[in-house]
Amino acid sequence: MFLNVALVFVYIAQIYILFSLTNKKGKIHHSKSYMDHRCPNSVFLDAILENEVLNEIKLLNASTASGLDDVPPKVVKAIANYIVKPLTYIFNLSFLTGIIPNALKIARVTPVYKANSKEKFSNYRPISVLRCFSKVLEKLMYMYKRAITFLNKNNILSNNQYGFRAGHSTQQVVIELVDKISKAIERNEYIWGWIILRPL
């Protein structure tokens, strides 16, 4: 248990140092270096609060496997009150600079057998296990509606984007398609399409 706790603190310190060094060497590119003027539709993200980080850590499933850092969710949950301040700082720095530490981008990928011949790669599906901190950062971006609020406010998502949107359903796509086909038949228009079949 002590070793896992120590690993968490070392890991947080490494991410903090990475950001500090990046700032000192000037590797973070600000918008002024490649844009003449400020874009009125720049992404603005509200600051992350400590209670948001704590809430997301509490929601981690303690029984899930750990990522490549081998820090199980159970340990992160147990020491959440001690690491919430540095984590909040790191996550806010990530949002502010637009940089996600490389360590948080890497997942442990395990091929899981589906069916048929075990000799074919296509009969396996990849299961990615992220580090606990990656999961928390992702939830802070999406679950607190930071990303989706910006996308909706600026009409960035297509009206034809039905999946993974509140108030939209993939069933609507089918209804819309059937409606278009029916109207085309009524107007004596040609209807064509293609289906791409993948060999088993």
Find out whether 96 and 134 touch, Cβ atoms under 8 Å: no
Task: Supply the angle between the helices 132-142 and 146-153 in degrees, to the nearest 10.
Answer: 30
Write down the domain spans for the chain: 2-153
Q: Is 94 helix (H, G, I), strand (E, B) or coil?
A: helix
The Cα–Cα gap between 16 and 7 comes to 14
pLDDT tens-digit profile, the chain (200 residues)? 545 555 555 555 555 444 444 444 444 434 344 334 344 566 677 889 999 999 999 999 998 888 888 899 999 999 999 999 999 999 999 988 888 888 888 999 999 999 999 898 889 999 999 999 999 999 998 776 777 777 777 777 777 777 777 778 878 878 887 888 888 889 888 777 666 666 65
Chain center to CA of 25: 28
Question: Per the confidence metrics, is the pTM higher than 0.75?
Answer: no
Per the listing, tokens 């509606």 go with 145
